[in-house]
Structure 1
Amino acid sequence: MAGAAIATSPNATFAERQFVWADEPAVLRRTRAGRSLSRVRYHNAEQFFAGIEEGIIGEGPNLLYHTGIVLQLGLSAHLIDVGFDDRWCARHVGLHIDRSLALADATGLGLNAPEIERLARFLSPYGKWRQADIGSQPAWPWSRAELRPLTRTLLDQVRSVTGHARPARGEAAS
């Protein structure tokens, strides 16, 4: 597949403008190694999500942090699958789920889920939830019961677009 740079133009969308850096444009190149890494990321997302689904991860900031991990792993699985370089994503997207989601949608994820977009903005960068004091953070408008289907929707869309199989329970990522 030929490389394709994301570039700005007078009619560029927000996502296109947001993800162009003058010094290092993103060039999409699909590779076998990228496909393999994408599958590992997707499987890791599913494994982290299992802890949320099974109630192992408690409420509060810890739940938000783990939800952020799952969303970012799932989105990075898509980004790597379509040809983004993992190091480029680490430098330019980092822990910002909102950036990952916008870039993924701009490259064919097709999620079109305003509530997930809202969640991505709220969680970003998701590292802020790791040691967060619940009293210092704004209240979030999602319960555990609401976060699970939002997260599942994103993972199912990534699986649908990438074609990765859902891992069997207990299967380690390889």
Structure 2
Amino acid sequence: MSRFAPPLPARLAPLWTARSGREKGLLVLALVGVLAYAGHAALSYLPAGGEPFAAARPAPNLQRLPPITPVDAATWRSAAVEQGLALTRIEVTARGVTTHGEAASPKAFSDFARWAAQHGWWAVAWQLERREGQSLALAAHWRSQLERPASQPASGAESNSGPGSVPLDTTATATESR
């Protein structure tokens, strides 16, 4: 063995000595490359300057999510009308928004769900039920966060949702009967 080589475990020493000089050089070069790549990968996730580690890099998928707009029953009702829905009840709670109404077609609900997603709200539970005639009864529950960690409080006003997000308005309730 070379005088600069570190001592190898007893099981690896015979395998190393059986290699030719060229193979040993390629293995050392591969080890240096792997260590350099691992070091670069580890350093690229460290925060720059004085910023805290948690704010170093948001996940790429989180950067592509639309910002969450505040809940406003009038805005939701007018958007529903534009998409072909007639919302009769909009309930806003700390756990999200619940809507009830009628749809002309499943496509109308799909278009409204697309509008809501562009404003940061996702339908996490919904039900479409065919009524007599052509209309569909609908009920949907919308959330601005797909998951809420158990450590966070249930109230939207106390949660720390991060930059660009608006906490849920837990005070507004709009009900309309026809």
Q: Same fold (TM over 0.5)?
A: no
Q: Give the alignment's TM-score, normalised by structure 2.
A: 0.22
Structure with higher Rg: it is 2
Which structure has the highest strand share of the two?
2
The TM-score with structure 1 as length reference comes to 0.23
Higher helix share: 1
Which has the higher relative contact order, 1 or 2, with Cα contacts under 8 A spaced 6 or more apart?
1
